[in-house]
Structure 1
Amino acid sequence: MTESIGGHLRRTELAPPVRIVHLGLGAFSRSHSAWYTEHASDAHEWGIAAYTGSSVELAQALEAQDGLYTLVTRSVSGDEAEVIGSIVRAEPGGNLPALLTDLAAPGTAIVTLTITEAGYRADRHGELDLSDPLVAADRETLSAVSLNSALGATTMRTALGRLVLGLEARRRAGGGPIAIVSCDNLPDNGGLLRACVLGFAAANFETHEWCEANVSFVSSSVDRITPAISSDELAAFRDRFHDRAPVVTEPFADWVLSGAFPAGRPRWETAGARFTDELEPWEARKLWMLNGAHTILASLGPFYGHADVAQAIADPVCREAVEAFWDEAGRHLPEDLDLPQYRTSLLERFSNPRIVHLLSQISLDATTKVRLRIAPVATLERSAYRSAEASALAIAAWLATEPPEQGSVALRDRVHRVSAALASDDPFLELVEGALNGLLAVASV
């Protein structure tokens, strides 16, 4: 299927046709959704046109090797390498004309997204944040789109703004129904995606009406640890595999999806994916237990001198904090999710010293992550008249590491907000609705 030509991976067989468009091309999408597509029994029918967020370099590196890349699966015992060929074209996120063409094509059946939590531009109520200047600019552009306007000459500043413009292009071209799949670590990510896409589309009546009738929003729970590769290892892989865009991942992979695919989909179940009408329990298990533990380790680990997940989970203090939080989360998950086995597998995965998952990488956008991964468990525990002590510790660790907000002179400004929350009728609700102002941090002392 491949060979090295001029120091690059190159295809020796015809690539599959583009039927999937991916937004947010990075390491995780290549270890997860692209891997599942590669291993589906009908992979020869499903090629991916993938768009980066902002990186031109990654798109150029993949284009130079026909979209091919090496996936290195790293276990305690060693590495296994395979070439993944499901991405047939890689484009920088700013190539709007190409994106519009791909989204309008009748053969395109699916859009997948890994644009991170921040990419949805949502407010804390799960709706499109209309106060966001970039959202406002893109909605204004969409509202000005006329029947005869050239969409490719339009400037869109957000990922979902570009997506909605592409859906307008599909409407004009008669491209037919399409499924959009969120692969980001968010509760009810398909529902959030729907709210934000339709929030953008509402700026143009015809676009909104078409999206309501023709777009399916699929929720999914994704799980595969994919750490960043160091520059030294990247250079070594370049020499070893003739690959400028390799990815390292763990052996474990999980994908659970819920929703309709009106134009068809790959047989991802043959690669191990699961389809369900009840995604919420699977989603909560992963979001609270894996991602929640990561957030705890990213906040608590640096206090004890740890730089990565394997180091932090080996520390009894950090591990006890994680296990205590799992106890709280597990009280609110169904028993048929096999939680004891999942906890055991998580400890094994976290302890793999050959997967160097940096805490500094996990700590990015920590406020959003704490609100989504820790606060729901705390809310449920308090609603059950329990102390939520483990959740409080997690929030306290976050509060201690989070820098003061812009315009704040010191941490005492947060303490003032804590005092205001304590004086309210429902201080815990004030805490959660106020995007975690530190009440539990004080309550846990």
Structure 2
Amino acid sequence: MRNAHGDGATDDTPTIAHLGVGAFHRAHQAWYTHRASVVGQPWRIVAFTGRSSRQADVLRARGGRYTLVTRGADADELSEITSIREVHDGADQASWRAVVSRPSTRVVTLTITEAGYRLNGRGRLDTAAPDVAADLGSARTDATAPAATAPVRLAAGLAARRASGAGELTVISCDNLSANGAITRAVVRAAAAEWDPTLVDWIDAHVTFLSSMVDRITPRTTPADIDEVERRTGIRDEGTVVAEPFSEWIIEEPSPAGFAGPRPAWAQVGVRFESDLAGFEERKLRILNGAHSLLAYQGLRRGFDDVATAFADPALRDLVEEYWVEAAASCRLPPSELAAAVAATRERFANARIGHTLAQIAMDGAHKLPHRIVPVLAHAVRAGGEASAPASAIAAWAVRSGQGDDAVERLLDGVADSAVLPAMRAAIARGIRRLESDPVGAVRGGGAI
């Protein structure tokens, strides 16, 4: 068990304020920051929970330290992560404002989930939502009032920073949303505009919002994991988090001056900085997430429960390999980058010790497939191929959901090139006919969609 540095942080130590200190943050951004503080200037994280106080209580019990279990295919590696130095209940608005307004706080990071941005159907801040409206109403009369919603909480923190004269700040979204930095900027500006238009001007002049793409599978920590950590270390660590060996973090930095101030030595520990994230987001959605969805819907039909066992099935493995050829052809990144992504994903899928469940992946397919699979199918039919692999993912989802042609049509609503729609529909219909005549389809008929 490694502990790379001690606890010498002070109020002058460069600080990251993080909102949403769940398992993924601790397996990802906090892990990168821990390692960056070993090779470069030490930084600390002051973390806030999203809603529940339980995680704050668990982490405070060990002064923010926790054990990261890196679950390889053959063994676990244990590391003690010490980058989180303070932990607060997300409801502690006074501490949030105080931390964001410190001059030493130079970066804010977020893992608040897609729902946390409180977007309406038009992709804007949902000011009509009761909790958003309540927070905004309170802020109009008292900027220090508690806020339950992240956009208002962020705006309140920035108002406190303006009042303190602490200067410029960089905000980085680490959630699975395309253009997440632009989304964060939009909802924070919208929240600020509701009670103080001059705050919007200050935000525009002093706050930089950056997008990022994150990736690391972080399965749920079990009591057995905590018991094993105690057996190996002698410490009962209820804050233990488990993650796969693979990790990726790409931050979009449109110019060399993208950050509003200093940053940790992230680049020295594997974080990439790119001028445009679009190609990397496309790669992740189509090669990783698309193959996940294909395995989920086809694997559940065949009675498999997790990614590794489904991927070990020769027929499914061949189908996924065929899909990867078509997915890579649809992506804009160089072939070498895509080949490396496929190779890494192949290794990740084979890691049986992660236990990534197909039922979890299969949830919410109606929202996921238009981004993961539909563009691959459109590209394949446009190129004149049969497109059977991507079509089979949609076909398996349609059969599993039992929603019929209307549901498939809704998946295709966003296809801009109407000329390819007939061929796409035909490919999906062929896939459905094959599945309906396939006896393994009776193994598990319905379920998560």
Shift of 1:262: 0.8
| Mapped partners of 2:275, 2:95: distance in 1 | 34
Question: Of 211, 234, 246, which aligns to 1:252?
Answer: 246
Q: Which amino acid aligns with 1:328?
A: E
Task: Give the aligned length.
Answer: 414
| Mapped partners of 2:203, 2:426: distance in 1 | 41
Which residue of structure 1 aligns with residue 191 of structure 2?
Answer: 200
- Written as runs of structure 1 = structure 2, the 5 A alignment for 1:283-432 is 283-333=281-331, 334-381=333-380, 389-401=388-400, 415-416=405-406, 428=415
- With 107-116 and 325-334 compared, the bigger mean Cα shift is at 325-334
Q: Deviations over 1:103-128 (max 9, x none)?
A: 11121111111222222222455433
Q: Which amino acid aligns with 1:26?
A: G
Instruction: Pick closer, same or farther for the CA change 1:362–1:237 going to 2, 3 Å.
Output: farther
Shift of 1:20: 0.2
Shift of 1:230: 2.2
Q: Which amino acid aligns with 1:370?
A: L
Shift of 1:74: 2.1
Does 1:176 find its partner at 2:167?
yes
| Mapped partners of 2:429, 2:98: distance in 1 | 53
Q: Deviations over 1:100-155 (max 9, x none)?
A: 1111112111111122222222245543344544334334444x14xxx350xx23
| Mapped partners of 1:141, 1:319: distance in 2 | 55
Shift of 1:420: 9.1
Shift of 1:21: 1.0
- Written as runs of structure 1 = structure 2, the 5 A alignment for 1:62-211 is 62-123=59-120, 125-142=122-139, 144-145=140-141, 149=142, 151=144, 154-204=145-195, 205-211=197-203
Q: Deviations over 1:24-73 (max 9, x none)?
A: 21121111111111111555531001122223222111101010011122
Which residue of structure 1 aligns with residue 270 of structure 2?
Answer: 272
| Mapped partners of 1:318, 1:23: distance in 2 | 39
Q: Which amino acid aligns with 1:162?
A: R
Shift of 1:351: 0.4
Which residue of structure 2 aligns with residue 38 of structure 1?
Answer: 34
Q: For 2:291, what is the secondary structure of its paired residue?
A: helix
Q: State whether residues 41 and 265 of structure 2, in contact with CA within 8 Å, keep that contact through their aligned partners in structure 1.
A: no
Q: State whether residues 18 and 49 of structure 1, in contact with CA within 8 Å, keep that contact through their aligned partners in structure 2.
A: no
Q: Deviations over 1:86-112 (max 9, x none)?
A: 011122222222111111112111111
Q: State whether residues 52 and 92 of structure 1, in contact with CA within 8 Å, keep that contact through their aligned partners in structure 2.
A: yes
Does 1:26 find its partner at 2:22?
yes
Shift of 1:310: 1.0
Q: Deviations over 1:372-420 (max 9, x none)?
A: 3334434555666766543333233334455xxxxxxxx55x6456679
Shift of 1:181: 0.8
- With 287-296 and 93-102 compared, the bigger mean Cα shift is at 287-296
| Mapped partners of 1:72, 1:312: distance in 2 | 24
Q: Which amino acid aligns with 1:199?
A: A
Instruction: Pick closer, same or farther for the CA change 1:12–1:253 going to 2, 3 Å.
Output: closer
Instruction: Pick closer, same or farther for the CA change 1:298–1:266 going to 2, 3 Å.
Output: same
Instruction: Pick closer, same or farther for the CA change 1:239–1:318 going to 2, 3 Å.
Output: same
TM-score (norm 2): 0.81
Question: Of 7, 15, 28, which aligns to 2:9?
Answer: 15
RMSD of aligned C-alpha atoms?
Answer: 3.2
| Mapped partners of 2:192, 2:30: distance in 1 | 28
Q: For 1:25, what is the secondary structure of its paired residue?
A: coil
| Mapped partners of 2:156, 2:117: distance in 1 | 15
| Mapped partners of 2:337, 2:210: distance in 1 | 25
Q: Which amino acid aligns with 1:32?
A: H
Which residue of structure 2 aligns with residue 406 of structure 1?
Answer: none
Which residue of structure 1 aligns with residue 440 of structure 2?
Answer: none
| Mapped partners of 2:378, 2:185: distance in 1 | 25
| Mapped partners of 1:49, 1:439: distance in 2 | 53
| Mapped partners of 1:57, 1:138: distance in 2 | 23
Q: Which amino acid aligns with 1:134?
A: D
Does 1:236 find its partner at 2:235?
no
Q: State whether residues 328 and 381 of structure 1, in contact with CA within 8 Å, keep that contact through their aligned partners in structure 2.
A: yes
Does 1:227 find its partner at 2:219?
yes
Q: Which amino acid aligns with 2:172?
A: V
Q: State whether residues 73 and 353 of structure 2, in contact with CA within 8 Å, keep that contact through their aligned partners in structure 1.
A: yes
Q: State whether residues 282 and 337 of structure 1, in contact with CA within 8 Å, keep that contact through their aligned partners in structure 2.
A: no
Q: State whether residues 256 and 273 of structure 1, in contact with CA within 8 Å, keep that contact through their aligned partners in structure 2.
A: yes
Does 1:212 find its partner at 2:204?
yes
Instruction: Pick closer, same or farther for the CA change 1:100–1:272 going to 2, 3 Å.
Output: same
